[in-house]
Amino acid sequence: MTTLKGPGIFLAQFMGDQPPFNNLKSICLWAESLGFKGVQIPTWDARCIDLQKAAESKTYADEIKGIVNECGMEITELSTHLQGQLVAVHPAYDTMFDGFAPAELHGNAKARTEWAVQQLKYAAKASQNLGLNAHATFSGALLWHTVYPWPQRPAGLVETGFTELAKRWLPILNVFDEHGVDVCYEIHPGEDLHDGVSYEMFLEKVNNHKRACLLYDPSHFVLQCLDYLSYIDIYHERIKMFHVKDAEFNPTGRQGVYGGYQSWIDRAGRFRSLGDGQVDFKSVFSKMAQYDFKGWAVMEWECCLKHPEDGAKEGAKFIKDHIIRVTEKAFDDFAGTGADEKTNRAILGI
């Protein structure tokens, strides 16, 4: 068994225009002061990293790594959540997702997709240059608008959708494989990979590609009423990343999973700061230790109530307190009597 690394913090929700959140060095120093040991870097934020440059220049990648290390931190992983989303976008969402791409690509879905694919390929090489072995992203979605089968889905629609999604991702997965990095899809509503069944359909289409792995985030499963502990039992061999994020689901006579078009604060299902929601993190961390998870426990802060700086301060301690220092011996070793084949056969009466 392996003791999880951490606590880490995903920087995406904390970057801003005011210090200490406006550049990589200052935000790393801030995170370190709270007790974090690692940072997960959003690659779309130029205040953190130039992704293309990190892919094309090992010297630049070493400089980025050096900035983080000098702050007493490590880079846990890179993230291309926004770019991954753009690998597959249904036209109904074009306008809303255009904002994830450079302005010159707005209104040009084909060029936007090509840009996103190249971004993922840069991320593979950049991760290798930084000495990383896992990468966070979204799958994108062609089928999400049909998630509820009304009107009835035509026969073969889902098959066609996953065939196309796999066609787009397979070349990307191959590039990541060339660079020795796992692609970890965050299983998330709004993505075609939003639960275990949809992930399995995709996995089949990419020929069980060894790099098509998972980012485990129990908060999204609380909101879907999915058994997030059994999920670890089922998929632990594919789980290569871990977002520590809390959530709560409190349905009423007026509202359930779909949320009634309400804002986050008024939804039955809401994300919360660590310890304020319903996720059984003691059991989650126990299972991650049991299955020898070798990665980082990274806080992703999303809360509709608490200030982010308070969420970060409390989150660092929360993760530290939940990481299990795994044992190196069995608790009943003291009662061991030693054995050999002759003794064992005698005990069995053979």
The tens digit of pLDDT for each residue in 38-69 reads 999 999 999 999 999 999 999 999 999 999 99
Please say whether the beta carbons of 312 and 34 come within 8 A: yes
In order of 29, 257, 309, 329, the CA distances from 273 in angstroms are: 22, 20, 11, 35
User: Residue 259 has what pLDDT?
Assistant: 97
Q: Which residue has the higher pLDDT, 85 or 328?
A: 85
Please say whether the beta carbons of 130 and 78 come within 8 A: yes
Calculated CA dihedral for residues 247, 252, 256, 260, nearest 10 degrees:
-100
Inter-axis angle of helices 281-290 and 228-235, nearest 10 = 10
User: Residue 328 has what pLDDT?
Assistant: 86
The tens digit of pLDDT for each residue in 76-116 reads 999 999 999 999 999 999 999 999 999 999 999 999 999 99
User: Residue 337 has what pLDDT?
Assistant: 76
Domain containing 340 — which CATH number? 3.20.20.150
Strands 5-10 and 38-42: parallel
Total number of domains in the chain: 1
Please say whether the beta carbons of 44 and 100 come within 8 A: yes
pLDDT at residue 336 is higher than 90: no
Residue 258 CB-density burial (10 A; 0-12 exposed, 13-18 middle, 19+ buried):
exposed
Helices within the chain (DSSP H only): 24-34, 51-56, 58-70, 81-85, 94-97, 109-129, 157-178, 196-205, 218-224, 228-235, 281-290, 308-322, 341-348
State the residue range of the domain holding 293. 5-348
Residue 34's nearest CA partner among 17, 48, 21, 45 is 21
First CA to last CA across the chain, in angstroms? 34
pTM of the full predicted structure? Answer: 0.96
pLDDT at residue 203 is higher than 90: yes
Q: Write the CB contacts of 103 (distance below 8 Å, at least 6 apart in sequence).
A: none
The tens digit of pLDDT for each residue in 225-264 reads 999 999 999 999 999 999 999 999 999 999 999 999 999 9
Q: Residue 283 and residue 108: Cα distance in Å, rounded?
A: 46
Inter-axis angle of helices 196-205 and 228-235, nearest 10 = 20
User: Residue 162 has what pLDDT?
Assistant: 98
The tens digit of pLDDT for each residue in 130-143 reads 999 999 999 999 99
